[in-house]
Amino acid sequence: MTHKLSVAPMMEWSDRFCRSLHRVLSRRARLYTEMVTTGAVLHGPRERLLGFDAEEHFVAVQLGGSDPADLAKAARICADFGYDEINLNVGCPSDRVQNGRFGACLMLEPALVGECVAAMKAAVSLPVTVKCRIGVDDQDSEEAVDTLTAAVVAAGCDELVVHARKAWLKGLSPKENRDVPPLDYSRVYRLKQARPNLPIGINGGIKTMAETHEHLRHVDSVMLGRVAYHEPEILLAVDPELYGEEPPVADAFEAIEAYEPYIAARLAEGHRLHTVTRHMLGLFTGRPGARAYRRHLATEGTKPGASLQTLRDAVAHVSRDSADLEDAA
Ligand SMILES: Cc1cc2nc3c(=O)[nH]c(=O)nc-3n(C[C@H](O)[C@H](O)[C@H](O)COP(=O)(O)O)c2cc1C
């Protein structure tokens, strides 16, 4: 199965509730978990950290770590949970992660990354993939990416997803590290030319389906992060535009109807409405009433007794008239 489009791993954002919403909007998008560290997988509350719903497939778990034996154990546990792919984080720049010697600082240790991938490949029969940057700090991007790629390919890596900017490990916050270092898509395109047999994904600053189509002329897959979270309706275009298939639902109104049974089941388990609806604030962006919808969810939706009716009341603020949509656009 080829994955032309993925939704990025995003801490605090791409949890199971968020992924279930995204799955309502596209059958085809590959969905990633938040990063889970090997320490958490091996010693933490596994069901809470790793549990997910069958509807979410195809779902890839992203691991953070740098000890090959621990990564192998964690990969096996994730495989037993039913994940479809294991991804290694070689791109996260936070201080917490640097102290643990994993994430983006592993760009400086390609041989170790190779050992990690080899250990995971030996432990599971799932695809093992890597998400990286084009370098850190004053690394030469040509050499950094080539060296890392050689190491992970030799270890059997099934796909490399490249966030097309460096991480600056000193002086920038993780948030700034997603915007400040300049994007260099051409570096990723050159990698694909040099490694035609290795599936290559591109990530970073991609905001529209038009841009997605353009990137797919050069690489195998596109990974969307913030735009998929803030404007999830973009995912409605994935199945028709990239696979020639009907979208699972026509619009955000239908998406919410289709998603209601899932929300009802989570409420019945004792979850608060907001736990699920906080990922839905970006639906209806651009439609008249979208702001009132968001405000309703942010105020009423966070109250302890909030129910499906609260969500329906929020949606009632949004205009269903497509003529209004064009006016607003
Ligand atoms: C809130 C947030 C959390 C993130 N957490 C992770 C993470 O856990 N693992 C990871 O590899 N990247 C993480 N990222 C980076 C994204 O996966 C992606 O590489 C980055 O946002 C650039 O893509 P975009 O411009 O499409 O958002 C995170 C990004 C955001 C906004």
Contact 129, 88 (CB under 8 A): yes
**Mean pLDDT value of segment 286-299:** 96
How far is the centre of ligand 1, averaged over its atoms, from the C-alpha of 92 (Å)? 8
Give CA–CA dist 164/45, Å, rounded: 34
Q: Is residue 57 marked as binding?
A: no
Q: What is the pLDDT of residues 155-210, one digit of tens each?
A: 999 999 999 999 998 889 899 999 999 999 999 999 999 999 999 999 999 999 99
Q: What is the pLDDT of residues 64-91, one digit of tens each?
A: 999 999 999 999 999 999 999 999 999 9
Q: Is residue 247 marked as binding?
A: no
Amino acid, single-letter form, for residue 132: C
Contact 85, 110 (CB under 8 A): no
Among protein residues, the one with the nearest Cα to ligand 1's atom 2 is 10
Q: Mark out the alpha helices in 55-205 (DSSP H runs).
A: 68-81, 95-99, 110-123, 141-154, 185-194
Q: What is the pLDDT of residues 2-54, one digit of tens each?
A: 799 999 999 999 999 999 999 999 999 999 999 999 999 999 999 999 999 99
* Residue 251 predicted with pLDDT over 60: yes
pLDDT at 329: 44
Residue among 116, 46, 40 nearest 82 (CA): 46
Torsion, Cα 162 67 86 256, to 10 degrees, reads -80
Residues β-bridged to residue 132:
90, 162
Nearest ligand 1 atom, CA 203: 23
Among protein residues, the one with the nearest Cα to ligand 1's atom 30 is 10
8 CB near ligand 1 (under 6 Å): yes
pTM for the whole thing?
0.96
DSSP conformation letters of 31-90: EEEEEEEHHHHHHS-HHHHH---GGG-SEEEEEE---HHHHHHHHHHHHHHT-SEEEEEE
pLDDT at 229: 98
Residues β-bridged to residue 61:
86
Residue among 325, 314, 241, 319 nearest 280 (CA): 314
pLDDT at 15: 98
Burial degree of 37 (CB within 10 A; 0-12, 13-18, 19+): buried
* Residue 96 predicted with pLDDT over 70: no
- CA 33-221-15 angle, 5° bins: 15
Nearest ligand 1 atom, CA 224: 26
161 CB near ligand 1 (under 6 Å): no
State the Rg of the chain over Cα. 20
What does pLDDT average to over the chain? 95
Q: Is residue 131 marked as binding?
A: yes
Report residue 159 as tokens: 């796909």
**Mean pLDDT value of segment 205-226:** 98
How far is the centre of ligand 1, averaged over its atoms, from the C-alpha of 319 (Å)? 32
236 CB near ligand 1 (under 6 Å): no
284 CB near ligand 1 (under 6 Å): no
89 CB near ligand 1 (under 6 Å): yes
Residues β-bridged to residue 88:
63, 130
92 CB near ligand 1 (under 6 Å): yes
Helix, strand and coil content of the chain, in percent to the nearest 5, comes to 50, 15, 35
Give CA–CA dist 234/310, Å, rounded: 25
**Mean pLDDT value of segment 222-232:** 98
Q: Is residue 207 marked as binding?
A: no
Among protein residues, the one with the nearest Cα to ligand 1's atom 26 is 225
Residues β-bridged to residue 202:
162, 222
pLDDT at 1: 56
Q: How many residues does the chain have?
A: 329
Q: Which domains does the chain have, with CATH numbers?
A: 5-243 (3.20.20.70), 252-328 (1.20.120)
Nearest ligand 1 atom, CA 35: 8
How far is the centre of ligand 1, averaged over its atoms, from the C-alpha of 214 (Å)? 21
- Which residues are catalytic, by number? 92
Contact 129, 168 (CB under 8 A): no
215 CB near ligand 1 (under 6 Å): no
Cis geometry, peptide bond prior to residue 52 (ω within 30 degrees of 0): no
